Amino acid sequence: MSVSIDSPKLELTAAHLAPTVDQPRVSVLVPAKDEAENLPLFMEQAQAAFRSSGGTYEVVVIDDGSVDDTWKVLGELKSRYPFLRAVRHQSRRGIADALRTGFLNARGSILVFYPADLQYKPEDIPRLVAPILGGESDIVTGYKQGKYEKAFVSGIYNRLSQSLFRVSVRDLNSVKAYRREVMESLPIRPDWHRYLVVMAAAQGFTVSEIPVPLYPRNAGVSKFGIGRIPVGVLDMLAVWFELRFSRKPLLLFGMMGAVLFLIGTVVGIGAILWRVIGGVGFRPLLNLIETCLTVGSVFFATGMIGELIAAQRSELSEMRRQLDEMSRARDTQQPRE
């Protein structure tokens, strides 16, 4: 039997609604798009890894609008693996939304992003979460060991990210483990998962990394092509802008407006002197003055509107923080059965 939820559209199994005796410490979030061939082996290896580590784990697989038998395979696997929880998107929504859905359905205090294609083996999950369990770090990211097809593109992306964000991590686009509080504090935006480390580090969370072997994909084909590179660059610039100017947008737009006003003023004085002393007017100078003053005014107005939006975001963030604290306090005060 299944329960449907309209917003967002998810399909949850009845097992999700039943209380469990053992609360898992670690929730492994696995986005899966057409991964029916990989999931049985993934779950088998995950079970072996969890048994050897001795911790309490769950695996939350998010079927992101698969058109193969992924959802059917998950239904069969649930009877064999009690730590498996399955969530379904009716249509493809991307990794960021899948991870968000997994987060909302996960019960662990530590979350792990792990793909289903077995390029990363589940046996490395305990190593990934160990620094967090030991209180050494808030986020642990793996850096790829071994040869892979997109090494050149990944290298460019990582070098650009390191120079732009000043984060001393070799590989931002890899598997990650992080405290639940990290996810709760991040803004919800498309493709945020690629910049989770960057955004979390900007908020003061500690980051570490460990080497993680990379293997050939077990089955299926990659869902990402070279056409994603321009989108990735634009996303990188958007994240940089948000981290740098989202709280003080007038700092950017006000400076740009001030520079244009200054240029317009200097050119205007020059045009007046030219007219008075030389007796000659120059039309292009007038056009330049008009352009600088007009565009400068637009930048100033944009900055002021941005300041109002930033103030609203700050208020919403503070309300969210207070609600989270109230929720945690209520959960703590509730008597345990």
Question: What is the pairing mode between strands 10-13 and 84-89?
Answer: antiparallel
Which among 116, 111, 104, 106 is positioned nearest to 8, based on CA atoms? Answer: 104
Report the pLDDT averaged over residues 186-191.
Answer: 66
Say what the pLDDT of residue 15 is. Answer: 37
pLDDT at 10 over 50: no
Most confident of 2-11, 12-21, 161-170: 161-170
Task: Please report the pLDDT score of residue 328 as a whole number.
Answer: 56
Q: Is the pLDDT of residue 16 over 60?
A: no
Mean pLDDT of 39-63: 90
When pLDDT is cut at 50, 70 and 90, the band that residue 191 belongs to is: low
Please check the confidence at residue 4 and state whether its pLDDT lies above 70.
no
Mean pLDDT across the chain, nearest whole number?
A: 78
The continuous run of DSSP H or E covering 181 comes out as helix 180-185
- Confidence (pLDDT) at 184: 78
pLDDT at residue 28 above 50? yes
CA-closest candidate to residue 206, choices 310, 122, 134: 134
**The pLDDT value given to residue 301:** 85
Mean pLDDT along residues 61-67: 91
Cα-trace Rg, the chain = 26
Tell me, rounded to whole angstroms, the distance of Cα 169 from its chain centroid: 16
Residue 1's pLDDT is 34
Residue scoring higher pLDDT (103 or 326): 103
Residues written for the chain: 337
Stronger pLDDT, 177 or 201, i.e. the higher one: 177
Q: Per-residue pLDDT for 2 more than 50?
A: no
Specify the pLDDT at position 185. Answer: 75
Residue 334 confidence (pLDDT) = 52
Give the separation between CA 97 and CA 102, rounded to whole angstroms: 8
pLDDT digits 0-9 by tens, 118-142:
899 999 999 999 999 998 999 999 8
42, containing H or E segment: helix 39-53
Which is higher by pLDDT, 212 or 284?
Answer: 212
Tell me the C-alpha distance between 71 and 87, whole Å.
9
